Structure 1
């Protein structure tokens, strides 16, 4: 499929609306184009001294057509612009959906600024062209056909002049189009770099202020903008050449037509009304010519961005989904599992361990030892390079992700909150019994904070108006609310002080009866509620412990604590 076809296929969802707009366009153009022809007769009536009744009737007819035309244009323009905005929202939603579907490796290899540029910025131009490009092309071609037909009917000799200029016009534009397409692609790539640079520096604003490096960062950002401006300058220059060519035609054609038309009137080959009508039709000719040039220029610019959008929509690289559906969790086993990210750095090497239903496993070790990667593998966010991960004795790759996730709840190391109420953030928008929400907030030790707000659970929050510990406890409440059989915790208490950490761990102990726990931590407090411990270092297991009594706990606690303190 060609890129042009693929572009217009993006919004085939709105094809019916496009057809309605095209019908309105036909009515609009026919009404508009009839007026100069009627004006020709009106001028001829006046110059020939015809009776005023005929003049008045023809004038009223022209006025009536003009009013009808205005009403049609209001309806057409309203639907036109509404389609434009609806298509932008539709494609943005489609892009956002595909972004969420992409594997984690995609986000490892692409910066968020570049992704945002595609979802928010590229989409605007692509969606506008895909939605109104075809109606615009139809409108201008139809208007050209109608106007040229009237011009031939009025005077063949004058119409020939117009056809002489068109081939020259399009030959030049063919050259400009190919240049614009290439420069527009480079401009979008460099705009993504601008987005990335802004995001990077705003995330580090505290560090920048502390080190008083505002000027240094402004200078660096200025260089990025200067580099981006080079590509913008090329695109603007080529677009300006195209616009300039259109203006030349718009200025020269009327003069030529008036000179030659005046000569024909003088020779009595045409009437004054015919010349006025022909001259009036010229103004109808400029707009479609200008719009078609804009269409071609816009198409080339859009195709440059369309490649990025289409690649984003098509390049999901989702692994083949498993078909086995789990109804319960019984066991989890790693068999000779090794894993490395796409940068080639080995993260896990030959891991072997097993937990059964009801076990509570603590995975401890220093930062960078591969603890969180184990959870990512359990969640099927990545696949092992070697070995197998078995759930209930079944290869995890053969298991349906939906059925697996139905059995799992997770608290991530990066605390995700969105702008909304506390209740919405805990429930993720699901309808849940309030007592269950309150219990989850109590277990995570966030309830006192919630009760301090005037609106309680209906208090509006965002990611920026909570401390790190408050975010973590709120996300923990969300994880505990889900009545899952397998609980995965990634540094669940890393942002809270030791006293609150102990209370949270004690609450977890009471709430996890009959459930299985895998808790990742570089702090040893979580060991107090676990019966198994894996000690990681540099992606390898350096110790596996079973905690049967207080003595075992104290022994392992001492080993792990000494290692983590080093």
Structure 2
């Protein structure tokens, strides 16, 4: 995304909140006007009050000063309340857009970064973009009026002294441009290193078990120190640069003030200007010089906002699933036939993840309504890819996938997915109660819910835990078997007629496995079920088994037939049985 596009996006944020931005700027202009008036009032108090000994003048203008200061503080309170609300609304809006976008992004795009890195980047970027509503940003904008008002005040008092002040401005502008350029570079480097550290930190936390098992902590500690030293070093450079800017500001202002005192004193002694005018002039000179520093701060803010906005909007431009990025004029709603008697057809489907190696090579098969079909094959043969394609996480390079004769790409994606229940080894459990994880925000009759628990051999466990018990992130408070039972119960609770079981019984005990097999034969007998499994105890109940080898269909038949006639299937079952027996001996 180009800088021009970024500016357009940022302007869009300002425009969408234009009324509040406008009111805040009006309040700031009024405050600036009050600030410009106060030095003139102080001049009157000094020249016509103290020096001329007029007590009434002192009282009158002191009262006006008090009134203006109180008015200014009331305006500041209203302005800050409005600005805080504006910043909160911008932050919420940006987070909401990002969260809604998660539904549309292709999984292959999300998988390129860790969850920790994505969250860190979003939080950092949105915090920086919301600086559009920071007080420093608004103050910098209104400083333009301070500069114009200050210059007008300077000319009214003394054009000779004004010339001295104006000579300092080019020097200040030069410093602003130089320091801003340096800071831009440092900020970009800081964002990159922070993003890289978030990615590393997320990867390390995900592998903490392996780190403990293999004693890798010392190595990871070195990686941590190396990364943090880089970040700390950049933070030091930012702090030093800010210190250089503040030091330069103070020195420049002090040089100007010293020059004005000396030259102003000479003009007072020559009776060319009053004492009050000199002090008022020095006050106005700060309105001209210091706003340049504020404009520098505006440049610094923009130097942080621009790269953050670029990364944020690049996230929003991540490749989306087909339906979301194209006009869905021809998209169809799912029909009753698709919902209650789903039939799946793969026609000459070819697919590749990286466009170099074909994972699936022109496969074709059908699953009729109510059939129980198993996908069988070694790792890498294409079983999970078929599931991913059926769920529309990816789309085929060629060929088509149909449900009841309609290409699945022409069906509303949300409706389509809602009518499929899927259980995999990697299905996610939310940090919520078991009931909420099973029902997924749907109202289910208590009697039906209890029956589902009993069908999945979960009832006794459910009754033993306290009410409101949460399963932890991804079910970390549950055993592997308990976790898998909850996932299977979830599939049953949806009531969908198309069910996918990807190694769904891999972590359950023999009793639960037998119970699930019985469910397939009885309560699920009219459901359309697609299974990935290596277990003969499940495969023997399938209406047909599809044997995959190197992305192609090697054979299709029933379990008993394939055992006798297909070498690939026979070898796979033999290997799978041995592995299963080993796993049983380890568990039991």
2:456 maps to 1:444: yes
Alpha-carbon distance change, 525 to 131 in structure 1, aligned in 2, over 3 angstroms: farther
Alpha-carbon distance change, 29 to 422 in structure 1, aligned in 2, over 3 angstroms: farther
| In structure 2, distance between residues paired with 1:468 and 1:42 | 82
- The farther-off stretch of 321-330 and 51-60 is 321-330
2:415 maps to 1:403: yes
| In structure 2, distance between residues paired with 1:12 and 1:429 | 37
| Structure-2-length-normalised TM-score | 0.87
Of the three residues 258, 263, 281, the one matched with 1:260 is 263
Partner of 1:351: 363
- How do residues 211-290 of structure 1 correspond to structure 2 at under 5 angstroms? 211-229=214-232, 238-285=241-288, 287-290=290-293
Measured after TM superposition, the shift of residue 94 of structure 1 is: 1.7
2:499 maps to 1:487: yes
Measured after TM superposition, the shift of residue 178 of structure 1 is: 3.6
Partner of 1:325: 333
- The farther-off stretch of 265-274 and 92-101 is 92-101
Alpha-carbon distance change, 528 to 251 in structure 1, aligned in 2, over 3 angstroms: farther
Measured after TM superposition, the shift of residue 121 of structure 1 is: 1.6
* Cα pair 2:449 2:493 within 8 Å, conserved: yes
Partner of 2:87: 84
For residues 270-300 of structure 1, the C-alpha deviation after alignment (integer angstroms, 9 at most, x for no partner) is 2111222222334545653332111102212
Partner of 2:159: 156
2:435 maps to 1:423: yes
* Cα pair 1:340 1:385 within 8 Å, conserved: yes
For residues 39-62 of structure 1, the C-alpha deviation after alignment (integer angstroms, 9 at most, x for no partner) is 111111233334322321221221
* Cα pair 1:113 1:192 within 8 Å, conserved: no
Alpha-carbon distance change, 261 to 230 in structure 1, aligned in 2, over 3 angstroms: same
Secondary structure, aligned partner of 2:348: strand
2:549 maps to 1:537: yes
Partner of 2:138: 135
| In structure 2, distance between residues paired with 1:298 and 1:460 | 43
Secondary structure, aligned partner of 1:115: helix
Aligned length: 561
Alpha-carbon distance change, 120 to 127 in structure 1, aligned in 2, over 3 angstroms: same
For residues 94-142 of structure 1, the C-alpha deviation after alignment (integer angstroms, 9 at most, x for no partner) is 2232233211221233343432232122221122237768634422223
Secondary structure, aligned partner of 2:350: strand
Q: Pairwise CA RMSD of aligned residues?
A: 2.8
Alpha-carbon distance change, 12 to 260 in structure 1, aligned in 2, over 3 angstroms: same
Measured after TM superposition, the shift of residue 383 of structure 1 is: 0.7
| In structure 2, distance between residues paired with 1:514 and 1:31 | 80
For residues 45-89 of structure 1, the C-alpha deviation after alignment (integer angstroms, 9 at most, x for no partner) is 233334322321221221121112112212222332343233223
Alpha-carbon distance change, 360 to 171 in structure 1, aligned in 2, over 3 angstroms: same
Partner of 1:462: 472
For residues 487-537 of structure 1, the C-alpha deviation after alignment (integer angstroms, 9 at most, x for no partner) is 122222222223222223323443324321112234444325421212233
For residues 422-478 of structure 1, the C-alpha deviation after alignment (integer angstroms, 9 at most, x for no partner) is 3333333344444444444333333333222221xx333321322333332223322
Secondary structure, aligned partner of 1:83: helix
Structure 2 regions of 5+ residues with no counterpart? 580-588
Secondary structure, aligned partner of 1:109: coil
* Cα pair 1:332 1:392 within 8 Å, conserved: yes
- The farther-off stretch of 320-329 and 381-390 is 320-329
| In structure 2, distance between residues paired with 1:315 and 1:35 | 53
| In structure 2, distance between residues paired with 1:526 and 1:149 | 89
* Cα pair 1:176 1:242 within 8 Å, conserved: yes
Of the three residues 19, 24, 40, the one matched with 2:22 is 19
| In structure 2, distance between residues paired with 1:225 and 1:535 | 51
Alpha-carbon distance change, 546 to 71 in structure 1, aligned in 2, over 3 angstroms: same
| In structure 2, distance between residues paired with 1:409 and 1:471 | 16
Secondary structure, aligned partner of 1:347: strand
| In structure 1, distance between residues paired with 2:429 and 2:353 | 27
For residues 202-225 of structure 1, the C-alpha deviation after alignment (integer angstroms, 9 at most, x for no partner) is 111121112222111101222233
| In structure 1, distance between residues paired with 2:11 and 2:524 | 53
Secondary structure, aligned partner of 1:353: strand
Partner of 1:369: 381
Structure 1 regions of 5+ residues with no counterpart? none
Partner of 2:6: 3
| In structure 2, distance between residues paired with 1:311 and 1:133 | 27
- The farther-off stretch of 178-187 and 515-524 is 178-187
| In structure 2, distance between residues paired with 1:270 and 1:535 | 101
Measured after TM superposition, the shift of residue 227 of structure 1 is: 4.3
| In structure 2, distance between residues paired with 1:361 and 1:131 | 60
Measured after TM superposition, the shift of residue 421 of structure 1 is: 3.2
* Cα pair 2:169 2:289 within 8 Å, conserved: no
Measured after TM superposition, the shift of residue 236 of structure 1 is: 5.2
* Cα pair 1:364 1:523 within 8 Å, conserved: no
| In structure 2, distance between residues paired with 1:468 and 1:282 | 73
Alpha-carbon distance change, 268 to 225 in structure 1, aligned in 2, over 3 angstroms: same
* Cα pair 1:334 1:389 within 8 Å, conserved: yes
2:42 maps to 1:30: no
* Cα pair 2:456 2:512 within 8 Å, conserved: no
| Structure-1-length-normalised TM-score | 0.90
- How do residues 193-208 of structure 1 correspond to structure 2 at under 5 angstroms? 193-208=196-211
* Cα pair 1:113 1:193 within 8 Å, conserved: no
Of the three residues 291, 295, 319, the one matched with 1:292 is 295
| In structure 2, distance between residues paired with 1:257 and 1:430 | 76
Partner of 2:148: 145
For residues 348-402 of structure 1, the C-alpha deviation after alignment (integer angstroms, 9 at most, x for no partner) is 2222210111111122333333222111101111011222212222222222213
- The farther-off stretch of 74-83 and 291-300 is 74-83
* Cα pair 2:430 2:472 within 8 Å, conserved: yes
* Cα pair 2:150 2:287 within 8 Å, conserved: yes
